[in-house]
């Protein structure tokens, strides 16, 4: 995601990462869910500590969570692919 540095691609990469983990079986789904949850918690915690904010944009969090769930369920992550994102990603 950082390498791509492409605007509005976060949901796609959340969906794709979770999709790839889900392809590895039930353990992959479990790991993806844990990693997503911990990442979301840490991001919120750090924003609260360093920026003094209680939330970091609930709409963005919900959107990313839905994309992650989409990917974990085995659905095509390209549903969230932004127009113009190079095929390399």
- Give how far Cα 78 sits from Cα of 17, 38, 46, 56, Å: 12, 24, 30, 26
pLDDT digits (tens, 9 = 90+) for 2-59: 888 898 899 999 999 999 999 999 999 999 999 988 988 888 788 778 777 665 566 7
Model's pTM, two decimal places? 0.79
At 55 the pLDDT is 56
């Amino acid at each position: 995601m950082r390498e791509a540095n492409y605007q509005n691609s976060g949901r796609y990469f959340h969906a794709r990462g979770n999709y790839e983990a889900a392809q590895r079986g039930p353990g992959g789904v479990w790991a993806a869910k844990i990693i997503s949850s911990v990442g979301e918690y840490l991001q919120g915690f750090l924003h609260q500590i360093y920026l003094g904010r209680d939330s970091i944009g609930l709409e963005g969090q919900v959107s990313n969570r839905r994309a992650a769930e989409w990917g974990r369920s085995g659905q095509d992550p390209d549903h969230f692919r932004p127009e113009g994102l190079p095929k390399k990603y």
